[in-house]
Structure 1
Amino acid sequence: MGDATTHDQAAAVEHLVLMGVAGSGKTTLAGILEERLGRPYAEADDFHPPANIEKMSAGTPLDDDDRWPWLEAIRDWLTEQTRAGRPSVVTCSALKRSYRDVLRAAEGRVRFVHLTAGTDLLEDRMAHREGHFMPTTLLPSQLSTLEPLGDDEDGVTVVVDVPPQDVADRALTALHT
């Protein structure tokens, strides 16, 4: 009985993974949801080892060998939050189902919020970001890698063609329907 109770308690802890390509507004939305929901949030970029950041800064896309340890570190952070009884929000591009599978392996309920927009809007947003290592030249490789959420995946897709507070409203409404 103890194992079932522990499992039920872990399943009650919900984590939101804000996913999508660069420029889709993951960090902005995470800040809004952190405030509205009172949840801690982590930025996936903070889990990258220096070698990954150097590679991306040079305009070289990461390969799967670069990504697995990064995704496992995020998964482990989510599990730590579950064990502390804290629902959380984390940003992560999570472009492929196989990447989301790693994150889904965390303890707790992992739900995905796929932020999407047209290429022109994404390019414009990326061009106006300051202090970010991801160049706009990597957007096409991200878009070609992207595997949208499957119908069998726990998550929602939200179009980000409105102001950030409205995106948050859309996401929360979609999650609770």
Structure 2
Amino acid sequence: MKKTLLASAMTLALAGPAIASEHSGTYAFDTEGAHQFITFEVSHLGFSTLYGRFNDFDGEIVFDAENPENSKVNVTIDTSSVDSNHAERDKHLRSEDFLFVDEYPEATFRSTRVEVDDDGEEADVTGELTLRGVTREVTLEVELQGHGEDPWGGYRMGFDAETEIRLKDFGIPMDLGPASETVKLEISVEGIRQ
């Protein structure tokens, strides 16, 4: 499952032997410093690639270094914050054709299982993604980017994750053809230990 694709949202709970047990704890996403990104890409009719992001989301990682399979990830995304760098397109993405944000203002990811690889640097984080009122199981392919003390006296961990979703699986009715059936989601997050 390495390098297939996601939502974040999310991201994240891995590490095993790479991180000592004293680094266990709850890590809140760094929303204040904006050291977090959820981006997406999808083919536009097979002619080009459309890129975008969600500007507003929050979450936390509950990290258990001694038993990383017990770690948890929770992410909440403000779907109205979708941003594809084009106001009219963003209005359409917020409409009933796509995200239907008036009815479903949030998307969420709640992890249910964490499987860490042998070196503790990558993991598959499986969970329930709820988008447009539909909940499906998805698996995030997660990579630990680093961890340690920051210059302000805190302790941080950073992760990258990705997955792929099918639009129809989440009740999105707009059909842009076979090349546009799936969306790649990528999540990059710094968590600050609380």
TM-score normalised to the size of structure 1? 0.29
Q: Which has the higher helix share?
A: 1
Q: Which has the higher strand share?
A: 2
Larger Rg: 1 or 2? 2
TM-score normalised to the size of structure 2? 0.27
